[in-house]
Amino acid sequence: MSETVKIIYGDQTIELPVIIGSEGEKAVDITQLRNKTGFITYDPGFANTGSCKSAITFMDGEKGILRYRGIPVEQLAEHSSFRETAYLLVHDKLPSLRELNRFSILLNDHSLVHEDMRQFYETFPRASHPMGLLSSMVNALRSFYPELRIDEEEIDMTVTRLLSKVRTLAAMSFKISRGHKVVYPRPDLSYCANFLNMMFDTPVRPYLVDNDLVRALDVFWILHADHEQNCSTSAVRLVGSARTNLYASISAGIAALWGPLHGGANQAVIEMLTQVHRNGETVKRLVERAKDKNDPFRLMGFGHRVYKTYDPRALIMKGVCDKVLDRLKIDDPLLDLAKQLEAVALEDDYFVSHNLYPNVDFYSGIILRAIGIPTNMFTVMFAIGRLPGWIAQWKESMDDPEWRIGRPRQVYTGPRLRDYTPIDDR
């Protein structure tokens, strides 16, 4: 007989079924709870709530495990490319050589954006944050490239367009913000090399593709490609649950990722380290401030809702970081500072007892700096990497037989019934 959980309230008992995932995770199915008892559940931040069944990404926060479609992220970071990992996430299989080549051709064919979109960039204030721009531009793509039908082929086309054009849009926003000439994608360059070329090539200084940097970017994007039901992915699913189109759903995901407690942390880490370096503050003092409940400061790049051990992505990122800086012969004082900070925090009772370890954002900014990416573009880099995951999650939710529009309830705590007071009597 399948497992159930009994809830006893007053003199009544109800039995609720238990759902068991393929890795043994157990969930109490409460879909009948309100009907049977009148109760709802209360779970701020959804820390105990499973919002869907998903076959895309598996995480074990206690053991520090992350797998995409069953494959450990460590293996993908070592052997795969971002393009192949994107295919794996979106199409639920590793592509054959023929499929991968066809995917590359499609990414190349769809890499240009409508010339009229450049006008949008011109009209935004120059100081606009690139994440706000990216979110707006992705939403605007729908007007230029509407889906014709909601069938498999059309969704595939939209998916490929998005994966390819987001990279072009991000590089365009950088060029235009600098007042530079936009660089078009080139058919002879890979996904990552093309992005770097669109960012850094100029008519007076041609960009020389450096394969080590291309590989570092490839790994950076693989490590960001999906992370199950995090804040931005949940935003994509929630917006999509109203059967909103893919572009608008992804645009919402980008907006959610912008926050400093989520993807914006990679920018916040570098800003924090730069400030400490400039002010000559000690790392010990920084750790003390992070522990002080009267100080709103938090150690950026530390802590995670799910990981209660070292984030496996951070471990790989640290290795890539050392390699890139070594290869470029860069002596970045922020890397030394980051390592000192990590060492002090990992020995500190507060950080140990709160299970606070470096997360993916702690070292990633140092790699991006070394590649030449400006700090305000860091979260855009995260967004390009997370795109395959958002798309895969959106597609999965569209095919979910248990799909319903997302609509949480609340516990109302406002005033009880009272009468309207005319303005003269107030």
Which positions lie near ligand ACO, rule CB under 6 A?
A: 45, 261-263, 265, 290, 298-305, 354, 356, 359-361
Q: Which of 110, 227, 304, 311 is catalytic?
A: 304
**In this structure, how many other beta carbons lie within 10 angstroms of the beta carbon of residue 418?**
6
Alpha carbon distances (Å) from 386 to 50, 202, 205: 21, 28, 31
- Nearer Cβ to ligand ACO, position 55 or 352? 352
Q: Which of 331, 361, 400, 419 is catalytic?
A: 361
User: Between 312-327 and 211-224, two packed helices, what is the crossing angle to 10 degrees?
Assistant: 170
- Nearer Cβ to ligand ACO, position 228 or 322? 228
Write the DSSP string, 9-58.
Answer: ETTEEEEEEEEE-TT--EEE--TTHHHHHS-----GGGTT------SSEE
At position 210, the amino acid (one-letter code) is D
- Nearer Cβ to ligand ACO, position 14 or 334? 334
Task: Compute the least distance from the CB of residue 48 to ligand ACO, in Å.
Answer: 12
Alpha carbon distance 137, 251 (integer Å):
8
- Nearer Cβ to ligand ACO, position 215 or 308? 308
Round the CA-based radius of gyration of the chain to a whole number and report it: 23
361 tagged catalytic: yes
At position 254, the amino acid (one-letter code) is I
User: Between 152-177 and 246-257, two packed helices, what is the crossing angle to 10 degrees?
Assistant: 40
Alpha carbon distance 334, 363 (integer Å):
10
Q: Which of the 8 DSSP states describes residue 116?
A: T
419 tagged catalytic: no
- Nearer Cβ to ligand ACO, position 105 or 343? 343
Which residues carry out catalysis?
Answer: 304, 361
